[in-house]
Homo-oligomer: A and B are copies of this chain.
Amino acid sequence: MKLAEAKAQFLQSWGSLGAQWGINRTMAQIHALLLIMPDPLSADEIMQELNISRGNTNMNVRELINWGLVEKVLVPGERREFFTAEKDIWKVATHIARERKKRELDPIMKTLNQLQEVEGDQKDKYVKSFRESIQNINRFAHQTDKTLNAFTKAEENWFYNTLVKVFK
Contact = CB atoms under 8 A, between A and B. Distances in A.
Contact of A9 (B1, B36, B115): B115
Given A111-B13, A163-B147, A166-B162, A89 B137 contact: yes
A141 to B, nearest CB: 9
A150 interface: yes
Interface residues of A, number: 57
Q: State the number of copies, please.
A: 2
B129 A2 contact: no
Contacts of A128: 38
A154 interface: no
Interface in A78-134: 87-90, 93, 103-104, 108, 111, 114-115, 117-120, 124-130, 132-134
Contact of A3 (B108, B130, B140, B147): B130
A7 interface: yes
A166 B114 CA distance: 29
Interface of A: 1-3, 6-7, 9-10, 13, 17, 19-22, 35-38, 87-90, 93, 103-104, 108, 111, 114-115, 117-120, 124-130, 132-134, 136-137, 139-140, 143, 146-147, 150, 160, 162-164, 166-168
